[in-house]
Structure 1
Amino acid sequence: MIIGSVGTGCSSTGTVTRPPSPSLVADERALALPPPGGPAIIGVVERSRGNGLEQTISLATTARVSGQNHLKIEFYGADMSSGPSAAFRTIDEREILREAAAAIPSVRLSRRNAFLQNTYGPFAYAAGRSAFGDTCIYAWQQIRAGTTSQGIGRNFGMIQVRWRLCDAFAGEQQLLSAVYGYTITGTFDGPAWDPFGEPNRADSRLGKTGYPIYPADSAALGGLSMGYAGGIDPRRTAAMTSHPSRRSARPSQPAPKGPAQARGPSVPSPDQVARQAAADPSASAQPNETVKRPAVTVPSPETISTSRP
């Protein structure tokens, strides 16, 4: 026993290792990005697993409800590390609703039954409003090829996506625009684990007669903006909109009395010209020239009426 213990101790390297645990990574290493316009990324926590990788991407928020906005993405595939593997599971309706309630505990969410689909396929969500007036949604999506092709294990990878979004100024449709417009930047190493499946073929009607194609008559939902681009503060924008008097810092001018007068160059009347010349004779162009009042004839209303044919 003593000899065996000594042999075991001599065979170990004694290297200090770090067990797999969540770690902060740079924002540029996020496996998914929100759409242009927001919400902004404020931190990325990554966890390695035996059969994949998981990231929780924290997002900016203006809501007063407790909790942090985030985009969670999980990649399930082949063995990637020595850590514990995650269960390879599909979406369960009851479990998803429990996830939503845990992510936004103070808001009563209602499951939306409309069929929705973004670039990566179908997704679903639940929405509600907090006691403070914040709009909240919890969206989920599973990205996986519908059928396998060219051998066992083809398109066997899977991606799970979760959105938790609450905002004090954005509506439900604006929050949904983030789910429509986000981009997945991560991928699997090798085509056998591609979760997106084979690319779609072109529409058979393209290039044929009898099938006219017209421009879209309405903008896509993904064109909606959450208003975070360019450093705009949604709270300040809303306050300025609700109080138009605060838009300008210039003091208000007293309103002129009497009827409104058109703005433009001021033309002095003949009486004003004569009074100015009498007060300042040196203003004349010639020393011996006398100021003459121009003859101005203003017809009376009777003259105007009698002069018409």
Structure 2
Amino acid sequence: MAALLGLSGAGCGESRLASDELVTASRATSVSPARALALLPPGSMPVIGVTQRNYDNAVSQIISLATRGRTPGENAIDIAFFTAADLPDSAAVAGNLLKLPGIEDHDVAREMEDRLPGVVMMPSAVFVQNKYGPFGYAFGRGIGGEACLYAWQRIADGDSIFRPKSGAVSVRIRVCDPTATEATLLRLAYDYSLNASLRRPGWNPIGEAPPPAPELGKAGAPIYPLPQASSPDAAAPQRIVRSRPSRAPRGEAEPAPDLPAIPDRPLEGYPTVPPPPRP
């Protein structure tokens, strides 16, 4: 009887599952929105979740944003911080390495087909730049005519063979909103901010902050404040409409101007011209 109790106790001990015995199929973990690598400007789409994945050469996140509308896909920011590790362009996600996303036209077109299926996106030919440098974007109309924007940016501080690599940041922004315009969606690409950094020697893809303007604080270089949006001077200029002179109706003839009267006698001080000879 004691032997049976011992076997029963041993069986109960083996049935208990330790916390480190669970092995998940994905290396992605959910983190707090406060630990997002990028932040949107105040008043924009709220963050509803952040999924993070760590690699040997990078840390990537999918920052999920509030999504409304009928266009397939999810509003999100895909961002990755890359170390200065040397990765050939042909390398893929082999082992625990992440490839730096391309910014060529065919690479971006493939991404938009995947994240905006069925939406015709028109890349902008206008040069645009935010506080981190130049970026590209495309705009289109989703289901029901809702505005869709896809923006891409690679941030790197001029790596070359003469200086050590300083790492890179890759950013992709995909948003669709039925009540937004191209200008309001483009504001997200202009005003987002990086919220973290890698604690690695030499990691500085953004570069040093630019020095202040040379005329700042100097005499003879006045700086005037920009007009505020609420001030009357900042209002849009109104078109001046000039009134046209009134015209008389077409049915009424305008009076002819008074002609000088023909004199009936020669004027004094002028020679007299004889009349032509009669035939």
Which range, TM-score by smaller chain? 0.5 to 0.7
1:108 equivalent among 104, 114, 120: 120
Where do residues 141-156 of structure 1 align in structure 2 (5 Å cutoff)? 141-147=153-159, 152-154=163-165, 156=166
Where do residues 84-99 of structure 1 align in structure 2 (5 Å cutoff)? 84-88=96-100, 90-99=102-111
Supply the distance in 2 between the matched residues of 1:212 and 1:84 (Cα, whole angstroms): 56
Pair 152,89 (structure 1): closer, same or farther in 2 beyond 3 Å: farther
Task: After superposition, give the CA deviation of every residue in 1:155-184 in whole Å (9 maximum; x if it has no partner).
Answer: x21000000000010111111111122121
What SS does the aligned partner of 2:169 have? strand
Q: Is the 8 A contact 1:48 1:83 kept in 2?
A: no
| 2:177 is the counterpart of 1:167 | yes
Pair 218,124 (structure 1): closer, same or farther in 2 beyond 3 Å: farther
Give the C-alpha shift of residue 153 in structure 1. 1.8
Q: Which amino acid aligns with 2:164?
A: G
Equivalent pairs, count: 201
| 2:166 is the counterpart of 1:120 | no
Task: After superposition, give the CA deviation of every residue in 1:241-295 in whole Å (9 maximum; x if it has no partner).
Answer: xxxxxxxxxxxxxxxxxxxxxxxxxxxxxxxxxxxxxxxxxxxxxxxxxxxxxxx
1:33 aligns with 39
2:30 aligns with 24
Supply the distance in 2 between the matched residues of 1:132 and 1:20 (Cα, whole angstroms): 36
Q: Which runs of 5+ in 1 are unaligned?
A: 1-14, 220-309
Task: After superposition, give the CA deviation of every residue in 1:2-50 in whole Å (9 maximum; x if it has no partner).
Answer: xxxxxxxxxxxxx967676112222222111121112011111111111
Supply the distance in 1 between the matched residues of 2:28 and 2:182 (Cα, whole angstroms): 32
1:298 aligns with none
Q: Is the 8 A contact 2:102 2:108 kept in 1?
A: no
Q: Which amino acid aligns with 2:40?
A: P
Q: Is the 8 A contact 1:31 1:184 kept in 2?
A: yes
2:206 aligns with 196
Supply the distance in 1 between the matched residues of 2:180 and 2:133 (Cα, whole angstroms): 24
1:134 equivalent among 114, 121, 146: 146
Runs of 4+ that moved beyond 6 A: 17-20
What SS does the aligned partner of 1:193 have? coil
What SS does the aligned partner of 2:184 have? helix
What SS does the aligned partner of 1:91 have? coil
Q: Which amino acid aligns with 1:115?
A: F
Pair 218,103 (structure 1): closer, same or farther in 2 beyond 3 Å: farther
1:208 equivalent among 200, 218, 223: 218
Supply the distance in 2 between the matched residues of 1:74 and 1:174 (Cα, whole angstroms): 24
1:72 equivalent among 72, 75, 78: 78
1:183 aligns with 193
Bigger shift: residues 157-166 or 183-192: 183-192
TM-score by length of 1: 0.59
Supply the distance in 1 between the matched residues of 2:150 and 2:173 (Cα, whole angstroms): 5
Pair 134,75 (structure 1): closer, same or farther in 2 beyond 3 Å: same
What SS does the aligned partner of 1:132 have? helix
Supply the distance in 1 between the matched residues of 2:78 and 2:146 (Cα, whole angstroms): 21
Q: Which amino acid aligns with 1:98?
A: R
Task: After superposition, give the CA deviation of every residue in 1:116-171 in whole Å (9 maximum; x if it has no partner).
Answer: 1112111110001124121000000111112569x8425x2100000000001011
Supply the distance in 2 between the matched residues of 1:102 and 1:218 (Cα, whole angstroms): 42
Q: Which runs of 5+ in 2 are unaligned?
A: 1-19, 86-93, 230-279
Give the C-alpha shift of residue 207 in structure 1. 2.6
| 2:55 is the counterpart of 1:49 | yes
Supply the distance in 2 between the matched residues of 1:120 and 1:166 (Cα, whole angstroms): 23
Q: Is the 8 A contact 1:54 1:74 kept in 2?
A: yes
Bigger shift: residues 64-73 or 28-37: 28-37
Q: Is the 8 A contact 1:144 1:196 kept in 2?
A: yes
Supply the distance in 1 between the matched residues of 2:110 and 2:225 (Cα, whole angstroms): 43
Q: Identity, % of aligned pairs?
A: 38
Relative to its length, the structure with more helix (as a share) is 1
Supply the distance in 2 between the matched residues of 1:218 and 1:120 (Cα, whole angstroms): 26
Pair 26,38 (structure 1): closer, same or farther in 2 beyond 3 Å: same
Give the C-alpha shift of residue 187 in structure 1. 0.3
